[in-house]
Amino acid sequence: MNDDLVLKLLKQVKSGEVSIIDARSALEGIELSEDNYLSAVDHGVFNEPDAGTIVRSSLSPAGDSIMVVLVGLWGLIWTLFWAGSLSYGLYNHWDQQLLSLFLAMTLTTLIIMGIVYLRFVMPDIVIIKHRRNKYITPNDSEGWKKYEV
């Protein structure tokens, strides 16, 4: 999908290529009516989008932030600790209540890591696809080819 001029300008301002003052002066003469604004806001939210439409929820994901790295390392260390304790407890026939705590803490840590991954790492572009009707062709006996080595 080709980006429009305003989105390119916003990306350049975000990266620092263009200053905010230059961007404001570039957009100075642009008029936006209320009808155009409302139709742009409503598109994809209240209207049914076409198949293959790309819907963008924000400019860019924050997957390279230090918080994501720290949560990943924290989750990896604690998952190894809880899973290792669970394995050691299973081997030494510990009480089931303690083993269930270790299993619950392992799954909770993995769920927290999954939530952080989905929220901050996954891309923010959603491609809308609709299901099509299935059509099964009849078996063509002439379509098969016999290959010999």
DSSP letters spanning 108-124? HHHHHHHHHIIIIIS-S
Burial string for 73-107 (b: 16+ CB within 10 Å, else e) reads: eebeebbeebbebbeebeeeeeeeeebeebbebbe
pTM for this entry: 0.47
Residue-wise pLDDT tens for the chain (149 aa)?
345 667 777 778 788 887 878 777 777 777 666 676 666 666 655 566 666 666 555 544 555 678 888 999 999 999 999 999 999 999 999 999 999 999 999 999 999 999 988 888 776 666 666 666 666 666 666 666 666 76
Instruction: Give the separation between CA 108 and CA 98, rounded to whole angstroms.
Output: 15
Is there a contact between 120 and 66 (Cβ–Cβ < 8 Å)? no
